[in-house]
Amino acid sequence: MSWSSGICGCFEDINTCALTYFCPCVVAGKNAEAVGENCFLHGFLSTLGCVGIFCGAKIREKIREKHGIEGSFGNDCIMHWFCPLCAYSQEARELKARCPSGQAMARS
């Protein structure tokens, strides 16, 4: 299975696109929370250069594994290295598409 939208499909969901552009740490945190990780921690870590790239790639990997999307951790790292905003946006669109009622949010 592949992603429901492409890496450059940001304008398919203009609200997510705008939020990712202006507040990427919010989207990074929400994506992490959707796979059971700490929203605040991952939002903060996303701002820390190489640490953010690694953490973003790990969350992307968890999203892929949870939804049976093909790919590799190496590819996830490349996506977060070269275009983290596109990667965060694609992940958020994927989570919305697979759990449109907001049920993707993890419960503590």
Note the pLDDT tens digit of each residue in 37-56: 999 999 999 999 999 999 99
Map out the domains of the chain as residue ranges: 14-96
Span between the terminal Cα atoms of the chain, in Å: 29
Question: Which structure tokens are listed for 9?
Answer: 């499909």
* Closest-CA residue to 105 (of 6, 34, 55): 34
* Contact by Cβ (8 Å): 35, 61: no
Question: How confident is the model over 17-41, as pLDDT tens digits?
Answer: 999 999 999 999 999 999 999 999 9
Neighbours of 12 (CB within 10 A): 15
Q: What is the pTM of this model?
A: 0.89
